[in-house]
Amino acid sequence: MDRENAPPPSRKLCHLPEELIEEILSRLAVKSLLRFRCVSKSWRCLMSSERFIRTQLEKSSNDPTAAHWQVLFNCGCGSKFSTSGLQQCSVRSFLDDPDVDPSPIDDPTNHHLTTGGYLVGNCDGLLCILKKPGSFFLWNLATRISMELPKIDLKITKSGFGHDDESGAYKVFVVGSTYAEEKREWIGKHYSSKTNSWKTVKLGCHAVGVGAEYISPNKWFRHMVWTARRVKENTGYEPAFMTRTIVNKRMKEFLQIMNNFVYVESLVSPVPQNL
């Protein structure tokens, strides 16, 4: 605490200590962050750091005002996007007025992902979209970055998407059958963003058919089974039909019901680091 120090010079945002800049930036909307990427090299560096991406995601996810959350429309679970295509509106405007008209997604490069597909799930701001027969896409709507996963040759029955805390990878899980007419086999495959590849998973089949439920000792697989089961319960659900129940529910319950349909804007990249 040296008294010889001169009084601090006039302050601008970028003059602040890095930890304070980070504190401020981590609360901004992704749109604003993308705009400020060009302010300086250090800001750009900060925004692409893994730690900052996680901090921003955590702050956004735990924000009780849901300032940066969006609701997706026209994407009933287990069924194809409706003819009007994938649309969205902010959670805030949806809660203010459940009859609000959603807007088309403003992302010309990825427009092809808004029609003719299935919403597999969403996690940390990344959407997983399936375009049959076997094309999966990971898409961050806020940053407009998307990536197609390596194709797989399976007749897909069920799929799920989530984050595996243990490995730190985003994973897509698929259950399907081979195309062979005579000996149709049920196969499970999972994709890891860490390896950017698919691996086959051993399945212990209990009952086979549409909406089959699988049991396996693998902990992560059990989570995906749970997801698939939930998807089955909510088949055909569209947010627009839930207006009356939603208005009376609190935020947490809202999220539980909306699950697949609500995503948090984040900086998480769909592109694996090693690509």
Partner 1 sequence: MENRETLPSPEKEKLTTLMSLDGHIFPVEEAVIVELRAIRRLLPAAGDATIPISQVTGQILAKIIDYCRKHNDHKLNRLRDEEISAWDRHFVDVDEELLFDLLVASHFLEVKDLFYLTVTTVTDTMKTKSPAQVGNMDQLRNLFISNFRLD
What are the residues binding partner 1 (CB under 8 A)? 1-3, 5, 7-18, 20, 23-24, 27-29, 32, 35-36, 38-40, 43
Q: Which is nearer to partner 1, 7 or 236 (CB)?
A: 7
Q: Which is nearer to partner 1, 3 or 244 (CB)?
A: 3
Q: Which is nearer to partner 1, 42 or 178 (CB)?
A: 42
Q: Is the peptide bond before 98 cis (omega within 30 degrees of 0)?
A: no
* 3-state DSSP assignment of residue 217: coil
| Radius of gyration for the alpha carbons in the chain, expressed in angstroms and rounded | 21
List of residues 6+ apart from 45 with CB closer than 8 A: none
Smallest distance from partner 1 to CB 39, Å:
4
Q: Which is nearer to partner 1, 27 or 54 (CB)?
A: 27
List of residues 6+ apart from 6 with CB closer than 8 A: none
Q: Would you state the structure tokens that stand for residue 126, as one six-digit string?
A: 């990344």
Smallest distance from partner 1 to CB 10, Å:
6
**Whole-number Cα distances in Å, 109 to 14, 105, 131, 142, 186:** 33, 11, 16, 13, 35
Smallest distance from partner 1 to CB 105, Å:
21
Which of 77, 198, 89, 164 shows the shortest CA–CA distance to 129? 77
Rounded to the nearest 10 degrees, how much is the dihedral formed by the CA atoms of 93, 95, 96, 99? Answer: 80
Q: Which is nearer to partner 1, 45 or 208 (CB)?
A: 45
Smallest distance from partner 1 to CB 46, Å:
13
Smallest distance from partner 1 to CB 47, Å:
12
